[in-house]
């Protein structure tokens, strides 16, 4: 009998605890967070959206800084406790694979996102290990 009353009491206590815990407003405690640290892009030209969250003023740069095949639409912002979005635009890649790193600085924090773009040089390569494997031979 006593154990039955204790079980009911514990269940009632747990239910009340759960219901009262729901009153607290959720706050994200991340001064800087990115949605992904890597993106894989096709060889075709295009654009992709990059999302990150910060509560601090932020600046963005590309590494290497002299990257001629990629741009971003914004390089700084205020960090208003909301999800930030930038647009990464890139040209067609007729060469081998390439990459660039987006560096986000927010106060004393830093996150890096690496953008890998496949090259068309890879698309014709079938995995052969020597030039003899690539020569077309009559049947």
pLDDT tops 60 at residue 26? no
b/e per residue 66-99 (b: at least 16 CB within 10 A): eeeebebeeeebebeeeebebebebeebeeeebe
Say if 14 falls within a structural domain.
no
Give domain status of residue 17, yes or no: no
4 or 51: which carries more pLDDT confidence? 51
Report pLDDT digits (tens) over 49-64.
999 999 899 999 999 9
In a domain, 19, yes or no: no
Residue 133 lies in a domain: no
Report the CATH number that the domain containing residue 63 is assigned in CATH: 2.60.40.10
Encode pLDDT of 62-85 as tens digits. Answer: 999 999 999 999 999 998 767 899
With respect to residue 27, please indicate whether it lies within any of the assigned structural domains.
Answer: no
Domain that includes residue 102, residue range: 32-124
| Residue 48 placed within a domain | yes
**The pLDDT value given to residue 117:** 95
Measured between alpha carbons, how far is 102 from 48 in angstroms, rounded to an integer? 13
- Residue of 116 and 138 predicted with greater confidence: 116
- Res 79: pLDDT: 81
User: How many separate domains does the chain show?
Assistant: 1
Is residue 115 in some structural domain?
yes
Instruction: Indicate whether 87 belongs to any domain.
Output: yes
């Amino acid at each position: 009998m006593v154990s039955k009353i204790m079980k009911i009491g514990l269940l009632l206590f747990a239910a009340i605890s759960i219901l009262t815990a729901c009153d607290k407003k959720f706050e994200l405690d991340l001064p800087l967070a990115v949605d992904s640290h890597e993106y894989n892009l096709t060889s075709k030209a295009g654009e992709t959206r990059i999302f990150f969250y910060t509560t601090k003023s932020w600046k963005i740069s590309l590494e290497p800084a002299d990257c001629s095949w990629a741009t971003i639409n914004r390089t700084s912002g205020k960090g208003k406790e909301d999800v930030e979005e930038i647009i990464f635009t890139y040209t067609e890649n007729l060469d081998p694979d390439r990459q660039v790193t987006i560096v986000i600085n927010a106060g004393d924090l830093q996150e890096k996102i690496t953008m890998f773009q496949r090259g068309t040089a890879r698309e014709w390569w079938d995995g052969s290990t020597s030039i003899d494997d690539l020569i077309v031979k009559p049947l």
